[in-house]
Amino acid sequence: MITALGDLLAEKTGATPPTVVAIHGWMRTGLDFATIVDGLDAVAPHMWGFGKTAEPPTAWGSEQYADALAEAIRPFGPVVIVGHSFGGRVAVWLAYKYPELVKGILLTGVPLVRLTAPPKPKLAFRVIRSLSKAKLLPASVLENQRRKHGSADYRNATGVMRDILVKLVGETYVPQLKSIRVPVRLVYGEHDTAAPADAGQAASELIPDASYRFVPGGGHLLDGTTSIAVREELLALIAEVNA
Q: Would you state the pLDDT for residue 142? A: 56
Side-chain-side CA neighbours of 117 within 13 Å: the count stands at 3
Q: How far is CA 137 from the centre of its chain?
A: 36
Predicted TM-score (pTM) of the model is: 0.88
What is the C-alpha separation between 9 and 54, in angstroms, rounded? 9
Mean pLDDT of the residues in the chain: 90
Query: CA angle, corner 149, sides to 193 and 63, nearest 5?
Result: 60
Please report, for the chain, the start and end positions of each structural domain, with discontinuous segments joined by +.
2-114+172-241, 123-164
What is the C-alpha separation between 201 and 196, in angstroms, rounded? 9
**Do 9 and 53 contact (CB within 8 A), yes or no?**
yes
The pLDDT-based confidence of 124 (bands split at 50, 70, 90) is: low
The pLDDT-based confidence of 200 (bands split at 50, 70, 90) is: very high
What interhelical angle do 62-73 and 86-97 show, nearest 10? Answer: 70
Q: What is the CATH T-level fold of the domain 2-114+172-241, as seen in this structure? A: Rossmann fold (3.40.50)
Q: Would you state the pLDDT for residue 4? A: 86
Question: Among residues 141, 80, 83, 142, which one has the least CA distance to residue 110?
Answer: 83
What is the C-alpha separation between 84 and 26, in angstroms, rounded? 9
**Do 10 and 34 contact (CB within 8 A), yes or no?**
no
Lowest mean pLDDT of 124-138, 202-216, 228-242, name the range.
Answer: 124-138
Task: List the beta strands (DSSP E) in the chain.
Answer: 2-5, 8-13, 20-23, 42-45, 79-84, 102-108, 184-189, 210-215
Angstrom distances, CA of residue 6 to CA of 77, 88, 161, 218? 15, 21, 21, 35
